[in-house]
């Protein structure tokens, strides 16, 4: 929008939505105009805090008529700029819509407002002897609406799948202000197109999620965490396959020596193992009794005999489980101050060894002057590659150079049939490379779907689709 008309646009917005709290406080514009990506400056027109469905409808209807762009906003923990408002948009925040609406113990499901945090959903489930398995480091802040909009993953996808697996119903306000109730919390529903799945992972480009019905699970048996020191990249998938055959794995995460050094320095942790290794794994498995632990130890010994493993530690209490998880979950936060350029790549699990080797060689060739920190959900074929520039390099120069690196790494990812965003979404930062993950025919179909739900093109413009029409 033309920011010169901002006072007029604001007056019209407020008079069209008199019941909705709308803020133009500089601190609020600053906090709600950005997510955890740090490559843009926040510049929203205003931030609206609806309290109910009708408020969201009123905001969208007005924005649709006025041609005002909307940025849907949850906990703003995203890493691809999906919730960034850098061009005079109206941010619609779900901070005032955090209620638990319904719990049905027979269905083992809950209906919640979009602004409820992931952590609050987990806590509610646990208090009712149930389990919400989607879990990641930012779960205390991230909101369910944002999780659904990005189809969030995390550390337990290996066992329980992505957020998509949990959603049995959605209430959505589309780009015209229409309300859609998708799937009504049903497990089975063969009555036509399942529109719910279009909104999951749509990054706020098709509608604003106001309510979700989520399936909970039976509480799993107690888990046990191991931290293993590997001899090299070649060992990674051998260790994974052996452990997966031996125990009921619920997580299999990897980190490099550089990632370990950052997390230890950033969180004042001592090194977890005596032996220094190039690569580490944090794995979790169900451990209802001694047998499972013995099986895991036998797998560890096989790994040592075969030259895959150099060292390892197995937690002996729930507190130690949590301590070992910190070495993996604390990495992202420990490098935040260094403003890393983030990549979130995936390939099929069977292609992980080749992908890692080729990516390792490519990065050594094209980014040898930068520090590259790798970690991720390697049991799902998902690799987080964080590039850290030298001190003193300006942000624009750094971003431009990282774009060149992305052109090469994404070309390799495409060649190997992978994705340039596994779980973070394309947002604003990765949207220029949509064509590296989807064919021209797919993109045309996606644009056609966008036109159906958002004919005026007001929902999160520039996100997911490249800003080229
Ligand atoms: C993780 O797995 C998160 O820790 C963040 O997805 C990844 O910071 C990143 O690159
Ligand atoms: Zn991740």
- Mapped onto helix, strand or coil, the DSSP state of residue 58 is helix
Residue nearest to ligand 1 atom 8, measured at CA: 332
pLDDT score recorded for residue 3? 52
Give yes or no: residues 188 and 238 share one domain. no
| Rounded Cα gap, residues 301 and 224, in angstroms | 17
Distance 377 CA to ligand 2 centre (A): 6
In-domain check, residue 452: no
CATH of the domain at 152: 3.30.465.10
| Structure-token pair, residue 368 | 């040898």
Per the domain annotation, does 469 fall within a domain? no
- Residue 227 CB less than 6 A away from ligand 1: no
Give the Å distance between the CA of 417 and the centre of ligand 1.
22
Do 345 and 306 belong to one domain?
no
Considering the domain architecture, whether residues 92 and 108 belong to the same structural domain is answered as: no
pLDDT tens across the length of the chain (469 residues): 445 578 899 999 999 999 999 999 999 999 999 999 978 899 999 999 999 999 999 999 999 999 999 999 999 999 999 999 999 999 999 999 999 999 999 999 999 999 999 999 999 999 999 999 999 999 999 999 999 999 999 999 999 999 999 999 999 999 999 999 999 999 999 999 999 999 999 999 999 999 999 999 999 999 999 999 999 999 999 999 999 999 999 999 999 999 999 999 999 999 999 999 999 999 999 999 999 999 999 999 999 999 999 999 999 999 999 999 999 999 999 999 999 999 999 999 999 999 999 998 999 999 899 999 999 999 999 999 999 998 888 888 999 999 999 999 999 999 999 999 999 999 999 999 999 999 999 999 999 999 999 999 999 999 999 975 4
Number of structural domains found in the chain: 4
Nearest residue by C-alpha to atom 2 in ligand 1: 376
Q: CB of 61 within 8 A of CB of 84? A: no
256 belongs to a structural domain: yes
Residues 114 and 25 placed together within one structural domain of the fold: no
Q: What is each CA distance from 136 to 77, 133, 154, 345, in whole angstroms?
A: 11, 10, 5, 17
Q: State pTM to two decimals.
A: 0.96
In ligand 1, the atom with minimum distance to the C-alpha of 424 is: 6
Torsion of CA 405, 408, 412, 413, to 10 degrees: 50
Same domain? For 270 and 282 the reply is yes
Q: Among all chains, which residue has been given the structure tokens 């394309």?
A: 426
Burial of residue 433 (CB within 10 Å: 0-12, 13-18, 19+) is buried
Closest ligand 1 atom to 154 CA: 2
**Structure-token pair, residue 201:** 């992972």
CB of 384 shorter than 6 A to ligand 1: yes
Q: Is 271 left (phi over 0), alpha (psi -120 to 50) or beta?
A: beta
- Out of 155, 263, 376, mutate this one to test ligand 1's pocket (max ligand atoms within 8 Å of CB): namely 376
User: Which among 301, 332, 363 is the end of a domain?
Assistant: 332
- Cα 375 from Cα 31, distance rounded (Å): 28
**Interatomic CA distance for residues 117 and 145, integer angstroms:** 9
- Other C-beta atoms lying within 10 Å of the C-beta of residue 383: 23
Cα–Cα distance measured from residue 437 to residue 382, given in angstroms and rounded to the nearest whole number: 15
Q: Which residue, by CA, sits nearest to atom 9 of ligand 1?
A: 332
- Return the ligand 1 atom nearest residue 382 CA: 2
d(CA 335, CA 36): 12
Residue nearest to atom 6 of ligand 1 (CA): 154
Phi then psi for residue 230, to 5 deg, are -100, 155
Angle, nearest 10°, between helix axes 257-266 and 318-329? Answer: 110
Q: Are 246 and 303 contained in the same domain? A: yes
Q: Which of 311, 332, 353 finishes a domain? A: 332
- Do 289 and 309 belong to one domain? yes
Judge if the beta carbon of residue 342 lies within 6 A of ligand 1. Answer: yes
Question: Residues near 334 by Cβ (< 8 Å), separated by ≥ 6?
Answer: 262, 263, 265, 266, 267
Can you tell me which atom of ligand 1 is nearest the CA of 423?
6
Q: Rounded to the nearest whole angstrom, what is the distance from the C-alpha of residue 323 to the centroid of ligand 1?
A: 18
Nearest to 279 by CA among 330, 242, 349, 232: 232
| 210 and 227 both lie in a single domain | no
CB 312 within 8 A of CB 228: yes
Output the CA 243–ligand 2 centroid distance in Å. Answer: 21
- For residue 456, being part of any structural domain is answered with no
d(CA 142, ligand 2 centre) in Å: 13
On whether residue 260 sits in a domain, the answer given is: yes
β strands within 20-159, DSSP E: 21-23, 46-49, 70-73, 90-93, 100-104, 109-113, 130-131
* Judgement on whether residues 87 and 109 belong to the same structural domain of the protein: no
Residue 444 lies in a domain: no
User: Would you say the CB of residue 332 lies under 6 angstroms from ligand 1?
Assistant: yes
Evaluate whether residue 439 is within a structural domain: no
Residue 364, helix vs strand vs coil? helix
Instruction: Return the CATH number at 311.
Output: 3.30.70.2190
Do 75 and 105 belong together in one domain?
A: no
- The dihedral formed by the CA atoms of 150, 155, 158 and 161, expressed in degrees to the nearest 10: -30
Last residue of a domain, one of 218, 250, 270: 218
3-state SS assignment for residue 199? helix
**Nearest ligand for residue 328 CA:** 1
Whether residue 296 sits in one domain with residue 373 = no
Nearest residue (CA) to ligand 1, atom 5: 332
Residue 80 is predicted with a pLDDT of 97
Domain ranges, residue 212:
100-218
Burial class (CB in 10 A: 0-12, 13-18, 19+), 235: buried
Domain-embedded: residue 88: yes
Output the domain CATH number for residue 409: 3.30.70.2740
- My answer on whether 265 and 310 are in the same domain is yes
């Amino acid at each position: 929008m033309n920011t010169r008309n901002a006072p007029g646009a604001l007056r019209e917005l407020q008079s069209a939505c008199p019941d909705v709290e709308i803020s133009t406080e500089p601190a609020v514009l600053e906090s709600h105009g950005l997510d955890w990506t740090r490559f843009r400056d926040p510049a929203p027109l205003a931030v609206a805090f609806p309290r109910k469905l009708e408020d969201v409808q009123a905001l969208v209807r007005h924005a649709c008529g006025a041609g005002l762009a909307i940025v849907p906003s949850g906990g703003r923990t995203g890493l691809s700029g999906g919730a960034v408002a850098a061009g005079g948009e109206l941010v619609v925040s779900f901070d005032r819509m955090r209620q638990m609406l319904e719990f049905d113990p027979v269905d083992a499901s809950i209906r919640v407002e979009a602004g409820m945090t992931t952590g609050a959903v987990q806590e509610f489930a646990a208090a009712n002897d149930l389990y919400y398995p989607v879990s990641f480091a930012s779960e205390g802040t991230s909101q369910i609406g944002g999780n659904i909009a990005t189809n969030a993953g995390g550390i337990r996808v290996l066992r329980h799948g992505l957020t998509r697996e949990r959603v049995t119903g959605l209430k959505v306000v589309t780009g015209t202000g229409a309300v859609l109730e998708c799937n009504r919390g049903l497990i089975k529903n063969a009555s036509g197109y399942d529109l719910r799945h279009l909104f999951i992972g749509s990054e706020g480009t098709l509608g604003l999620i106001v309510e979700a019905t989520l399936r909970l699970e039976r509480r799993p048996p107690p888990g046990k965490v191991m931290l293993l020191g590997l001899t090299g990249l070649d060992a990674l998938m051998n260790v994974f396959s052996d452990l997966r055959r031996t125990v009921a794995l619920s997580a299999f995460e990897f980190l490099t020596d550089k990632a370990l050094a950052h997390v230890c320095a950033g969180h004042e942790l001592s090194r977890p193992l005596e032996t220094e290794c190039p690569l580490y794994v944090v794995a979790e498995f169900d451990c209802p009794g001694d047998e499972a632990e013995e099986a895991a130890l036998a797998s560890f010994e096989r790994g040592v005999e075969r030259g895959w493993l150099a060292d390892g530690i197995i937690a002996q209490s729930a507190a130690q489980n949590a301590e070992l998880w910190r070495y993996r979950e604390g990495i992202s936060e420990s490098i935040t101050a260094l403003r890393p350029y983030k990549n979130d790549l995936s390939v099929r699990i069977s292609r992980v060894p080749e992908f890692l080797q080729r990516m390792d060689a490519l990065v050594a060739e094209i980014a040898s002057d930068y520090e590259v920190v790798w970690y991720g959900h390697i049991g799902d074929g998902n690799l987080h590659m964080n590039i850290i520039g030298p001190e003193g390099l300006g942000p624009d120069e750094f971003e431009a150079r990282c774009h060149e690196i992305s052109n090469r790494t994404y070309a390799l990812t495409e060649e190997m049939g992978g994705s340039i965003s596994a779980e973070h979404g394309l947002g604003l930062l990765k949207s220029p490379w949509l064509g590296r993950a989807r064919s021209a025919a797919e993109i045309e179909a996606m644009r056609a779907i966008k036109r159906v739900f958002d004919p005026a093109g007001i929902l999160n413009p520039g996100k997911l689709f490249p800003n080229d029409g």
